[in-house]
Structure 1
């Protein structure tokens, strides 16, 4: 049984005196910039079943969860890629301080105040900074991937029917930023209605959602692969941005088709296979909801079925090689809103909404309704300025 509120910042019991003593010694080591000693003390604290993080008042100790926690999104290793960790990387304590400096209030204003320092780790962290998703991919054979995809979708026996796409060729990427009930409902529906692999990135175990994810991954190890980071989302006052997190999932994927989905989106049937089946010829992406810009690009209206300029991030499937060719998701998009439009406009091909009605619905979108309105408007405008630039440089044909 998982301890309640694991990783949420609230301890279920008081730490024993010897653990508090280790934490106090670590604080002194950090103050003296003796990061080797601080790393050793952190490990001793973790071996005792506790996690430590720095707060304004000093440090906080919480019960260690039963899963690996990477300090940052960037530190999760991509096998053979730029995000992989290895010798020569800074230790956890030095890396944590570098992240703290990078995301200090003087460097960046996040919603709700300064970013929480993500200094919980299992392993060492790579250098903080913007990762290049395209560069982190090695030995990607786009021609082979396209061939395998076309084989999968050309087997449809009749109009209106779809051949089931083998699970190894399709992955669904989810970002978890809280809402444990949403996570459970979304993942349970994916398990029930599809055979796709499910890749999930948990940002900060907000509200214990990461612990729910761990429970689900333990129950379905053949279907779910999960990563947990100490960073909380930018839209919740942390340093983890939407675009960078989405790019990490894309980099960790190896499927031919990468499905972008939000945890507020719930499948009522197999809505994945029709989207994958629509990706053929010059079509590189297909989604549940499409939009087109009005003249001047200042407003967008619902569009489809058929060809559209933009796909909304509630649910869409994209050829992974096309996403990589586009440079991945917009790394500068710290918040989801309009990031899907920026990504759509950069894709090298046609985007469509299938003609058939998909068995899917959306529940309360916490990413919109539970975010500070001032932050939401500011970050939405920030991203939309780039969308307008893309519209000017890529006018509709």
Structure 2
């Protein structure tokens, strides 16, 4: 370890005296001077410890890490949307981190993930010196146009195939008829000159005048007067009628014989064209309901929260399995860079910049001789997260497959938490036994998913829980809903649980009893 310069040690001693005198402003100023010299000061039970400042932003304590919504925040971490496996935050929803930016570098995103909106370009922001977080931001892609924005009127216009207003169509009809009678026909009322003789059916001109869209019928019956208005099918159908003048009914038309076209057969074709046109125009009077595409349901946003308390190789194996076997984001809080675990966390964040958000504090874990409590650290991760589902996971837990999705799938109806290992209390309430699959009283903190809104409603994890043991049971009992466990069917296993086996037994038992007293109170209340 590097030797601490004497003047830095002197600054740390002055800070210790300021803390004793409760001169917190002076203590904070001295801490900043120590950091400016390239060192961090950690408070311990018997004084302080000085360690070299790492090459990433470190906050003094867990409580000092800023939460989303701070007024001074200029940027937020936004998870890029991924190609839908079935979303994101998000976009991915999205996980947020805040802080005063002192050194922000922009690089083009090299990963191939694209959003459901069809984003073809993303920008990644990396910050190694702000708020203790490595921040990567992805520029949001413009939302694709959908059919949902079409109005009923637009749909009708598309159905008609003619965007002219009725008044314009009427004007064109009047011009083609060349008479005041035709102008009256545009309103749907035939003039006296257009009334057919008694006992006779109205001719083509009268039917056109009576139509609510006379202009369209003009185009059909007089294609030469409206070039370019007809499609190929209409043009072919009326081509042979150009030379057919209006006639008086004769032959079979007088006696109503169907199927016999004596006289001028082209008149029947011309009448059929008018009949088809009348049908198509009359459809405009019907109410048309536009068909709107259903918007896809975005995938549930999920983030795994990790408390990093040392043991860097465990951390590396845990994170690599998460990245390889799930699509979940990861947010990690490093407590004191114990054994260099904070440095390994930063290496992993550089390796997987779209998946990992990191925070570092100078406080070391309470269960390793420091002052950072388990409950406070877990609640900080919960509040830093912005996903719908927050996953509590130990770094000793290793995924053998996607064990996250089955847990998230259980969070429906009144189920607010789903875990790997479930437990129920015995009759004396002093012993708990393994339970599940199904509804349980509590889930163990090795691995469980919880609806973030329900967890916040419960107040998060108890600040009084300085150690993990029994604090997971306390949290389960506080949740406002049903808790379930899936059991051994999940593809996951646990390596050596260092939080239990590698902690001083006296400390472990003392803190466990301390937390269990609160658990007993909750059991009696229920």
Task: Provide the TM-score with structure 1 as the length reference.
Answer: 0.70
The answer to whether the aligner puts 1:268 opposite 2:254 as a matched pair is no
Unaligned runs of 5+ residues in structure 1 are 1-10, 85-120, 125-149, 153-164
Q: 2: distance between equivalents of 1:320 and 1:238?
A: 28
Contact persistence 1:258–1:318 (CA under 8 A): yes
Closer, same or farther in 2 for the Cα pair 1:83/1:328, shift >3 Å?
A: farther
Matched with 2:53 is: 64
Tell me if 1:24 matches 2:10.
Answer: yes
Say whether residues 1:203 and 2:192 are aligned partners. no
Q: Which residue of 2 aligns with 1:326?
A: 458
How far apart are the structure 1 equivalents of 2:388 and 2:414? 15
Higher relative contact order (CA 8 A, sep 6+): 1
Instruction: Describe the superposition over 1:95-132 as per-residue Cα deviations: whole angstroms up to 9, x where unpaired.
Output: xxxxxxxxxxxxxxxxxxxxxxxxxx9889xxxxxxxx
Query: Number of residues paired by the alignment?
Result: 305
Q: 2:63 aligns with which of 64, 74, 78?
A: 74
Change beyond 3 A, Cα 1:83–1:320: farther
1:300 Cα deviation (Å)? 0.8
1:352 CA drift (Å): 1.0
**TM-superposed deviation, 1:179:** 0.6
Distance 1:40 1:373 in 2: 38
Change (3 A) 1:41 1:230: closer
Give the structure with higher Rg (CA): 2
Q: Could you say which residue in structure 2 is the equivalent of 1:104?
A: none
Cα distance in 2 for residues equivalent to 1:287 and 1:58: 40
Structure 2 runs not aligned, ≥5 long: 74-128, 133-295
Specify whether residues 66 and 284 from structure 1 end up closer, same or farther in structure 2 by C-alpha distance, changes over 3 A only: same
Structure 1 position 219, deviation (Å) = 1.7
The 3-state SS of whatever aligns with 2:57 is coil
> For 1:335 and 1:59, how far apart are their aligned partners in 2?
22
Hey, what's the Cα distance between the residues in 1 that align with 2:42 and 2:465? 27
* Secondary structure of 2:489's aligned partner: coil
Q: How far apart in 1 are the matches of 2:333 and 2:40?
A: 20
What corresponds to 2:440 in structure 1? 308
| Cα distance in structure 2, aligned partners of 1:283 and 1:58 | 46
1:194, CA displacement in angstroms? 1.0
The offset of 1:332, in angstroms, is 1.1
CA distance in 1, matches of 2:27, 2:495: 45
Q: Distance in 2 between matches of 1:378 and 1:46?
A: 35
Shift of the 244–61 alpha-carbon distance from structure 1 to 2, 3 Å rule, reads closer
Q: In the superposition, relative to structure 1, how do residues 356 and 280 fare at CA in structure 2: closer, same or farther (>3 Å)?
A: farther
Choose which of 380, 393, 403 in structure 2 pairs with 1:248.
Answer: 380
- Residues 14, 357 of structure 1: CA spacing in aligned structure 2 closer, same or farther, 3 A cutoff? same
Question: Structure 1 pair 283/151, CA: closer, same or farther in 2 (3 Å)?
Answer: farther
Query: What is the aligned-residue RMSD (CA, Å)?
Result: 3.0
Counterpart position of 2:364: 232
Distance 1:175 1:357, change over 3 A: same
What are the residue-to-residue correspondences of 1:318-357 with 2, within 5 Å?
318-354=450-486, 357=489
Whole-angstrom distance in 1 between the partners of 2:418 and 2:456: 16
* Structure 1 range deviating more: 57-66 or 276-285: 57-66
From 200, 215, 219, give the equivalent of 2:351: 219
Deviations 1:208-233 (A, max 9, x none): 11111111112212111111111111
Q: CA deviation at 1:45?
A: 4.9
SS of residue matched to 1:298: coil
The residue aligned with 1:155 is: none
Q: Does 1:190 align with 2:322?
A: yes
2:371 and 2:434 map into 1 onto residues whose CA distance is 32
1:63: Cα distance to partner? 2.6
Give the Cα–Cα distance (whole angstroms) in 2 for the partners of residues 295 and 210 of structure 1: 43
Secondary structure at 1:227 match in 2: strand
Aligned residue in 2 for 1:174: 306
SS of corresponding position for 2:69: coil
